[in-house]
Structure 1
Amino acid sequence: MPPTVQDRPRDARGYPVPAITPWVEEQPQFALTDYGRSAACARERLCSVCGRLMARGSVWRVVGAAECAAIGEALAAGRPYRNLAPTLEGPGHRACMLYASMVCPYLARPNARRGTSAGRPDELTAHVVRGAVRGTMGAVVGFADYEFAVTATQVLFRFVDVVEFLPHDTADAHAEELRAELAQDR
């Protein structure tokens, strides 16, 4: 576990709570995103997992099956990839995203199902419904940078220039990458 994640508030079971996770009646609402916390992370360049400052330069995020496939196809064909459709999922440190990909049940396994729907569905969240399956592949992806827009109801992100692509069927494939990253950070 990255030291910055170890310092996060914990739920009743002892699990660290990501920086963008909303709390209701002193209970974290995993799989949901808090608008204010996400906006602060975007504006202040804070990691969406640990809430700490991200240095200028590359940022990472975890992607699901459809975006993983699109990135893989673009890279295999020698084309640049840019997610023209915005996402609600903010960036983070490399170690934080490797860790998140391994410990979040939905991100870690292809047969994992969402336990919670995204609230009011819209064009960005219509697929985020209770019971939805992640799909065959996921990935931790590094990007040169990100762009964002804070609207009246959402924080939208787009990512530019893939700098690292780490696909996985099951995220335990990233264990060595995470260990190496944590050793380097020390």
Structure 2
Amino acid sequence: MRFELVPVPDEVGERPRDARGYPVPAITPWRDGQPQFALTDHDRSADCAVERKCSVCGAFMARGPVWRVVGPAESAEIAKALAAGRPYRNLAPTMEGPGHRACMLYAAMVCPFLARPNARRRVTAGETADGLTTAAVRGAARGGTGAVVGFGDYEYAVTGARVLFRFLDLVEFLPHESADEHLAELRAELARAAGRG
């Protein structure tokens, strides 16, 4: 699905856009007037963590569940735990911050890497000279089943080099091969937010 056909949450619609029209997430750094999508800005991410702001739209997240998009490895572990009737708990920290449900559904659908299993990364993992961090590996495909996942809350740690998150108490698991599968759920979430659902 072309990104311009995906319904946009209001707060995401207010974000700056790149030359193609993609909204730029709140944690994305800019260099020479261009957003660096595969990188995470330490200070922006820290601000979102501390101030409880969505990493996509930058707006405040009320107390209660938060969401994130996960890749195939974590999605498979969640599915395994749920199938076995066990609680899911991953204590490994991630640099991927939380967000609103609608924002994460939207991000999963419009980010080419998150949306399709055959999409490939364009940059290499590591830390840039100016302290920006990335978990991307050039040429790596997402592969497998991704998911938009809701958690009861999150914990964070801000170090000099990284902002790390852990997510607690699984509350929702929405797996996808292709994120287009979330279109009806995104529309319903936006209707609920607008008081129509």
Instruction: Please state which band the TM-score falls in when normalised by the shorter chain.
Output: over 0.9
Structure 1: 5+ residue stretches without partners: none
Q: Report the counterpart of residue 144 of structure 2 in structure 1.
A: 136
Q: Report the counterpart of residue 108 of structure 1 in structure 2.
A: 115
Question: TM-score w.r.t. structure 1 length?
Answer: 0.95
1:157-168 aligned at under 5 Å gives the runs: 157-168=165-176
1:183 pairs with 2:188 = no
Amino acid across the alignment from 1:81: Y
Segments of 4+ moved more than 6 angstroms: none
Note closer, same or farther for the CA distance 1:98–1:126 as it changes in structure 2 (3 Å cut): closer
- Output the CA distance in 2 between the equivalents of 1:118 and 1:127: 5
Please point out which of 77, 80, 103 is paired with 2:84. Answer: 77
Amino acid across the alignment from 1:48: S
1:50 pairs with 2:50 = no
Q: Report the counterpart of residue 126 of structure 2 in structure 1.
A: 119
Structure 1 contact 61–90 (Cα < 8 Å) conserved:
yes
Note closer, same or farther for the CA distance 1:126–1:100 as it changes in structure 2 (3 Å cut): closer
The structural deviation recorded for 1:136 is 1.1
User: How big is each residue's C-alpha offset from its partner over 1:139-172, in whole Å with a ceiling of 9 and x where there is no partner?
Assistant: 0000000000001100000000110000000000
The structural deviation recorded for 1:127 is 6.5
Structure 2 contact 126–134 (Cα < 8 Å) conserved:
no
- Output the CA distance in 2 between the equivalents of 1:57 and 1:127: 27
Q: Report the counterpart of residue 170 of structure 1 in structure 2.
A: 178
Structure 1 contact 39–155 (Cα < 8 Å) conserved:
yes
The structural deviation recorded for 1:126 is 9.2
Equivalent residue pairs, number: 183
Q: Report the counterpart of residue 96 of structure 2 in structure 1.
A: 89
Structure 2: 5+ residue stretches without partners: 1-7
- Output the CA distance in 2 between the equivalents of 1:166 and 1:129: 25
Cα RMSD after superposing both structures? 1.4
- Output the CA distance in 1 between the equivalents of 2:13 and 2:155: 28
Structure 2 contact 38–134 (Cα < 8 Å) conserved:
no
- Output the CA distance in 1 between the equivalents of 2:119 and 2:134: 18
Q: Report the counterpart of residue 65 of structure 1 in structure 2.
A: 72
Amino acid across the alignment from 1:148: Y
The structural deviation recorded for 1:75 is 1.1
Structure 2 contact 39–134 (Cα < 8 Å) conserved:
no
